[in-house]
Amino acid sequence: MIDTMTRKFRSGASAMEVWRLVATAFGRDQVKQYLASVALHDAARKALAKAGLGSSVDVSLTGIDAPREARVIIAADPEETPDYGALPSRVRAALRDFHITLDLPQGEHGEVTDDLVDEKFLDGEPIRLVRLKPLT
C-alpha cells in the first residue's frame, strides 16, 4: 500500500487523492506528512545528483510511521574520498539551491549546530533533511 501511495504521488496525484485511496488505513495528516517527506526525499536526490554527490550519500525515507522523515547518510568511504571532511558543506551547498538543509533527527539533541550535525554526519549517522525556512 505504501509503494502504491508513493507511486501515485510521484506520478502527479495530489496528497488528497492519495489519501482518499488509503483513508481506511491511514489518517489524512499521516498521509500528508509521509508524502511531504517523499517530496523532500526526491528533491534532495535530484540536488545531490546534480552536484555529483549521488554516489557519496544515500537518501532514504523512514516510512509512513512516525517520524516520517527523509534522511541522508554518507555512503562514501573516507579512505577513498578526497576531502572527506568537506562533504557536509558540499552536501549543504547542493541542497541549498533546493531550499533544503541538514538537521538531526527529532528529539535526540538539545541545541543543534552545524558543527554538531557535521560531526554526526561524518560519523555515519543518518541526518534528517528539512526545508529551509524563509527569512521574513
Check pLDDT > 90 for residue 128. Answer: yes
Q: CA–CA separation, 89 vs 94, rounded Å?
A: 9
- What percent of the chain is predicted at pLDDT more than 90? 74
Mean pLDDT, the chain, whole residue set: 91
Q: How many CA atoms lie within 13 A of 136 on its CB side?
A: 3
pLDDT at 104: 84
Tell me the mean pLDDT in the region 49-53.
Answer: 95
Indicate the domain borders of the chain: 2-131
Per-residue DSSP letters for the chain? -HHHHHHHHHTT--HHHHHHHHTTTS-HHHHHHHHHHHHHHHHHHHHHHHTT-TTTEEEEE--SSTT--EEEEE-S-GGGSTTGGGHHHHHHHHHHTTTEEEEPPTTS-SS--HHHHHHHHHTT--EEEEEPPPP-
pTM, two decimal places: 0.88
Tell me the mean pLDDT in the region 52-61.
Answer: 94
